[in-house]
Structure 1
Amino acid sequence: MQLTINQAVYNINIEGQGQPVWLLLHGFMGSQHDFEQIKPYLTTTVITLDLLGHGKTKAPLTPSRLTFKQQTQDLAEILNTLHFSSVNICGYSMGGRLALGLAFSFPQFCRQLFLENCTAGIINSQKRKQRQQHDQFLAQKLRQEPLSAFIHYWEQLPLFQSQKTLSPAIQQQIYQQRIQQNPQGLAASLEGMGTGVMPNYWPQLEKFFLPVTLITGNLDTKFSQITQQMHQLFPHSQRFVVDQAGHNVHLEQPQVYSQILKEQQYAN
């Protein structure tokens, strides 16, 4: 289905019925199809969508429209328009950062929070500025180079080395999803919703009293450390480290990932 929110036409899919309702948020260069392997395990209502700058969602590609704040506001308005409240919000990487922002800005929509390999922001102002500059660099690459060249660059990042062990069929599916993206949308997303410009939520974590499930892969050393730090601050959190998985746990170990979600979905 399509839903127009603040001049953006969102591509949204809703499957299943019953409680709890799941909202699954994909990562950078992903789409609602990121969770195809996960949805069959979730036997209740599942909402997936293409975020701003991604997939088939259409929006004005202006810096003021594709901001972190605008995206979280859109998500809240989507849930309100669809008459969903108190949902399990689950996000991966960029989607995890947006899930965190949605839960803090609009807690009335959050039943509990599931965060897969994401950060709560950048505390140090100098490091935040450096990350903004790096995101600008990536955005320029997207605007100036063929998308295939950027995808090749992206695939070589240490964060995604564990995905090289996936079957050729799965790797081809990932590539096809990425090559169908709009590079202008991806660039605007990096500038508006990148890690460098997201709010710093670290000081607020200890004040978040809803249940939180943190998921990381044992091969992702960077985010294993970050999720451990978040786990120590959240008052009510559980952390799962999945073996033989890197940054994208739901892709690399879908059955284990789904089992975690199923076991935790009724937590209070």
Structure 2
Amino acid sequence: MMISVRGVNYHVQVWNENAKDSLVLLHGFTGSVVTWEKVSSLLPTTMKIIAIDLLGHGKTDAPSNELLYSMEEQVEDLEDLFKQLDLHSFILVGYSMGGRVALSYISTYPERVKSLILESASPGLKTEEERANRRNSDEALAKKIEQNGIVSFVNAWENISLFETQKKLSKDTQLAIRNERLAQREVGLANSLRGMGTGAQKSLWPLLNQITTPVYLISGELDEKFCLIAQEMMDELPNAKHMIIAEVGHAIHVENPTQFATIIKDVYHK
């Protein structure tokens, strides 16, 4: 379904519409609601599952105004969307970029989130120097996407080291991931990098100790960088658990959807 939020049309996919308990899913950069189809099929029908195409992604609008893509604007869009969907209390799941969005959301609206599940996510970069360097590299990538187009970008993106482990997946799964990426629009991805890339967003590290909601950090064993980030986050979060999933990389929900769904079910039944 499409929902108008603060002048932007958001695409939302809902499974088990009449269920009482709610689960919200936020995808990563170059993703869409499609990434959650397998996991959602493995979850109980007693859960209302709401997957959202974030700004500039999937079938949600991709405005040309990059100011609309800031993390603060994305959080306000989600809050308005949740009000329209009459969501008062839910489990929030965020993968990678969606994890940064989820962390930003709970930092602003903690009362709505029953439990937070962060998959391969970070609170951003700690220093202004790191953020400035990342903004420069994200701007260079944004320009490359605009100049060379989606196909050229995806050909390069699917071969970065972060996704190396996905080459072990079945050809059908790899093709589905590629098609999901190819369905994106240049302006949406470029502005997403500029507005809510890791360099653009403010660091959430100083706010972690204020998040009292149960937080479940999920990392792939083969994704060393995000395993280390999660371990650092554990030192700051007052109510957190870190789970390392064997033999997978960055996208656990794609590389081992059954185990990912089991974790969600465990959190749901707590």
The TM-score range, normalised by the shorter chain, is: over 0.9
Q: What is the alpha-carbon distance in structure 2 between the residues aligned to residue 52 and residue 39 of structure 1?
A: 21
Match in the other structure for 2:117:
114
**Residue pair 1:92, 1:118 contacting (<8 A) in 2 also:** yes
Which residue of the other structure, out of 153, 156, 160, is the alignment partner of 1:150?
A: 153
**Residue pair 2:96, 2:119 contacting (<8 A) in 1 also:** yes
Shift of 1:6: 1.0
Q: What TM-score, normalized by structure 1, do the two folds share?
A: 0.97
Mapping 1:1-268, distance limit 5 Å: 1-16=1-16, 17-43=18-44, 44-267=47-270
Q: What TM-score, normalized by structure 2, do the two folds share?
A: 0.96
**Residue pair 2:89, 2:114 contacting (<8 A) in 1 also:** yes
**Residue pair 2:56, 2:185 contacting (<8 A) in 1 also:** yes
**Residue pair 1:20, 1:266 contacting (<8 A) in 2 also:** no
Q: What is the alpha-carbon distance in structure 1 between the residues aligned to residue 208 and residue 20 of structure 2?
A: 27
Instruction: Give SS of 2:10's match.
Output: strand
Q: Please provide the CA RMSD for this pair.
A: 1.0
Shift of 1:146: 2.7
Q: What is the alpha-carbon distance in structure 2 between the residues aligned to residue 130 and residue 61 of structure 1?
A: 24
Q: Is the deviation greater in 146-155 or in 156-165?
A: 146-155
Shift of 1:108: 2.2
Instruction: Give SS of 1:38's match.
Output: helix
Equivalent residues, number = 267
Identity, in percent, stands at: 35
Shift of 1:130: 0.3
2:197 is aligned with what amino acid? G
Instruction: Give SS of 2:67's match.
Output: coil
- Give CA-to-partner distance per residue, 1:101-153, whole Å, 9 cap, x none: 11111112211100001111111111110001111011011001131111111
- Give CA-to-partner distance per residue, 1:18-55, whole Å, 9 cap, x none: 34310000000000111111102222100012110101
Q: Is the deviation greater in 55-64 or in 215-224?
A: 55-64
Q: What is the alpha-carbon distance in structure 2 between the residues aligned to residue 41 and residue 170 of structure 1?
A: 17
Instruction: Give SS of 2:199's match.
Output: helix
2:206 is aligned with what amino acid? P
**Residue pair 1:76, 1:109 contacting (<8 A) in 2 also:** no
